[in-house]
Structure 1
Amino acid sequence: METGMAPGDIVIGYGPFGKPMIDARFGIYFNVSHCNDVALVAVSRKGEVGVDIECPRAIADALEIARVHFSPSEREQLSNIRNGDLNDTFLRGWTRKEACLKATGSGLALASSALETGLCTERRTVSFAPLHLPHVVEVQSFVGPDSEIYSVASLLQAARLNPVRRAR
């Protein structure tokens, strides 16, 4: 992707909730996540993106964390898993939520329990309203070569704020 600048001259800034970004005039959107020595990077010219990656591991308090961060439906699905897939299913749900929230630029500053992304790997379109502003995000999850669980989200529609002029 061309910016007309030397790589060292491109300034990376941060949004109000910590999302890294490049000057909007370039029309380049990106997001980064890492786990141990594995990095996941998404770059787009079509709009904001969010990614998250988690390395497989045991999550001792997965159901407790889910009570705070997962929707009622997701919590119910998670509580019904009995075949040892709890950790992977939890991490898949977590990466989906984080990727969606990162695509909006809000990160985990918002209540992730209000965002129902599902616990599957399939592509899903999710509508939610962080800070009462409607957003539509598409998210999909994958399993990497070393069993990493990663999710990629793209912002399809974001709320637009129209300035209000004061009557004189």
Structure 2
Amino acid sequence: MTTVQLPASTHCCRLWQVDLDATPAPQAVACLSEAEWERARRFVFKRDRNRFIAAHAALRETLSTQCGIPASMLEFALGPFGKPRLVEHDGLHFNLSHSQSLALIAVCDDGEVGADVELLRPMPDAEALAETYFTPAERRALAALAPEARDRAFLCCWTRKEACLKATGIGLSVDTRGFEVGVSPDAREVAIDTADGRARLALSSFHDVQGALCAVARVLAREPAAAACRPLAPQEICA
């Protein structure tokens, strides 16, 4: 297992990339919980099982260095939609994403965080997926690109959607066509309306990490439904 901290992490987040095909140290593997071993045993193929083990061993090692708790002593609890959090250190937020042999770990002290990584690859079903998951503006922007640029732009948008959903912890309970992230890697704020109110997030993308596209989102604020739906004051209305 090879873990490398990425430089110049954005939005108060710290990022690490992990080579999941490198063999983890025995002491790192020994820190996994019985629940993690049970999940690992469910994989049919050995390669997938080994990558799962490497990813979660790396996550435990990384979180241990960030919070000072031994890796074997870390305990996780799941949110309503399955997002894990640390039981012992609720103020340290993290997220794990992986694509084939590459994993991305994001850690943040300043708010809930979501990360997503996808290896660049041909996407023959991009148009159909975009129709299902992207906004009309995102679909138009994708269609306007040269064909050779569309796979990268599609995966850029896809990772940005995923990072936002993972940061909020609501998963696919929200229609991804209901919020705009764009098909280019610009940094922006994103607003997502949910049944409980509105979440505002800071979103960034970066490319070319071992041929992958990555996105990181951090929750800036959560507004209850009443606040999200309040009438705008005159000074807030743009001409």
Provide TM-score, normalisation by structure 2.
Answer: 0.63
Q: Name 2:67's counterpart in structure 1.
A: 2
Among 14, 34, 37, the residue aligned to 2:78: 14
* Correspondences of 1:75-90 after superposition (within 5 Å): 75-90=139-154
Q: Rg: which structure is higher? A: 2
Q: Name 2:174's counterpart in structure 1.
A: 110
Distance of 2:199 and 2:133 partners within structure 1: 19
Shift of 1:61: 1.1
For the aligned residue pairs, the C-alpha RMSD in angstroms reads: 1.8
Among 61, 74, 77, the residue aligned to 2:125: 61
| Distance change in 2, residues 1:145/1:104 (3 Å) | closer
SS at match of 2:195: helix
| Distance change in 2, residues 1:60/1:136 (3 Å) | same
Unpaired segments of 5 or more residues in structure 1?
163-168
Shift of 1:24: 7.1
Q: Deviations over 1:122-162 (max 9, x none)?
A: 11101121225111001111113322000010110113589
Contact 2:119 2:213 in 1 (8 A): yes
SS at match of 1:17: coil
Q: Name 2:193's counterpart in structure 1.
A: 129
SS at match of 1:156: strand
SS at match of 2:139: helix
| Distance change in 2, residues 1:11/1:160 (3 Å) | farther
Q: Deviations over 1:57-85 (max 9, x none)?
A: 11111111111110110011111122411
Aligned length in residues: 161
Q: Name 2:93's counterpart in structure 1.
A: 29
Provide TM-score, normalisation by structure 1.
Answer: 0.88
Q: Letter of the 1:63 partner, please give it.
A: E
